[in-house]
């Protein structure tokens, strides 16, 4: 029997209802179910509540019930422990989610039978160097991106970029995005970055509305170490996969590179990334 972690979108009643039904079905089948305490409260199953370290200990699979944001949260919770993730699409775009809610039980039955594949996605390792104390986190992991951007409307920030210990250039910009290939269809896409097939391994450095002639995305080797430092007097906000970590001030920065482990997404049929793009963007065949 398997141990299953359910990660639930806290603001969607459909996610809570599906989690409640799925937990009951799994337990009746002899499986163990666990939820983080805030999720368990929303679902109404406090008897299944665990702390974060207990969520991953001995866990066989994590099920994300929500949209792409819930998938990002789930990956952040379990990726370091090599736990596979089943994504259930209760959101809108659903680039990351694999399963429709109506077929979740069938999908889990397939998983328990070993009838699935694992698609690995590169993760971004973000090391924070903030002597000012504006960011508490020392390290973070992202499936999509890390973003350093201005905090005041109407003003740019100055960010110095170093590549593999060699100074590259200062950016006067609204911000910069360091994205993975998976994140190329997220914020980096809206900043006119390239679309990269998500199973590639690369770092994408994309400036946001730069006030300079050089405004192109750099696509770099995954082993590249990118250091981004706040060089001007204006602070910059640091977020990782949409989680706001705090403010960076002059001399503060991050070092970003490929993480040593990958996100392990469960798929039940080969994913055609080009067809997904066509569907999401409404592209015609002719």
**Which CATH number does the domain 123-260 belong to among 2.60.200.30, 2.40.420.20, 3.30.2420.10, 3.40.50.1000?**
2.60.200.30
pLDDT band, residue 132 (cuts 50/70/90): very high
What does the domain layout of the chain look like in residue ranges? 3-116+268-281, 123-260
How many whole angstroms separate alpha carbon 107 and alpha carbon 117? 12
Stated pTM of the model: 0.92
pLDDT tens digits, 227-278: 999 999 999 999 999 999 999 999 999 999 999 999 999 999 887 788 877 8
Query: Is 115 a known active-site residue?
Result: no
Which residue in the list 39, 51, 60, 68 is annotated as catalytic? 68
Q: What are phi and psi of 208, to 5 degrees?
A: -105, 110
> b/e per residue, 39-64, with b = 16+ CB within 10 A?
bbebbebeebbbeeeebbeebebbbb
Residue closest to 70 by CA, chosen among 123, 21, 121, 12 = 12
- C-alpha to C-alpha distance for 239 and 247, rounded to whole angstroms: 9
In 3D space, the residue among 72, 90, 80, 73 whose CA is nearest the CA of residue 13 turns out to be 90
CATH of 3-116+268-281, one of 3.20.20.10, 3.40.50.10330, 3.40.50.1000, 3.40.50.2300: 3.40.50.10330
For residue 144, give the 3-state DSSP assignment. Answer: coil
**What is the tens place of the pLDDT at every residue in 139-191?**
999 999 999 999 988 899 999 999 999 999 999 999 999 999 999 999 999 99
């Amino acid at each position: 029997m398997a141990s299953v972690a359910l990660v639930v979108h806290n603001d969607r009643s459909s996610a809570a209802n599906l989690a409640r039904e799925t937990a009951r079905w799994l337990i009746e089948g002899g499986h163990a179910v666990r939820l983080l305490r805030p999720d368990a409260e929303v679902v109404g199953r406090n008897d299944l509540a665990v702390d974060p370290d207990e969520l991953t200990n001995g866990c066989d699979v994590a099920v994300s019930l929500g949209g792409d944001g819930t998938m990002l949260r789930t990956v952040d919770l379990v990726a370091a422990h090599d736990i596979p993730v089943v994504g259930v699409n209760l959101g809108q775009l659903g680039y990351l989610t694999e399963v429709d809610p109506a077929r979740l039980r069938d999908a889990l039955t397939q998983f328990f039978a070993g009838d699935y594949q694992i698609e690995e996605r590169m993760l971004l390792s973000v090391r924070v160097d903030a002597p000012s104390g504006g960011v508490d986190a020392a390290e973070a992991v992202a499936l999509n991106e890390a973003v350093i951007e201005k905090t005041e409307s109407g003003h740019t920030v100055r960010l110095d970029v170093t590549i593999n210990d060699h100074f590259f250039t200062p950016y006067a910009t609204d911000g910069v995005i360091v994205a993975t290939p998976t994140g190329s269809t997220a914020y980096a896409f809206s900043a006119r970055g390239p679309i990269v097939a998500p199973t590639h391994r690369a770092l994408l450095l994309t400036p946001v509305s730069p006030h300079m002639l050089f405004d192109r995305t750099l696509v770099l080797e995954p082993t590249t170490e990118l250091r981004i430092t706040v060089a001007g007097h204006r602070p910059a906000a640091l977020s990782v996969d949409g989680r706001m970590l705090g403010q960076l001030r002059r001399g503060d920065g991050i070092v970003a590179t490929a993480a040593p482990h990958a996100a392990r997404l469960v798929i039940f049929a080969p994913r055609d990334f080009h067809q997904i793009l066509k569907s999401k963007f409404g592209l015609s065949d002719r």
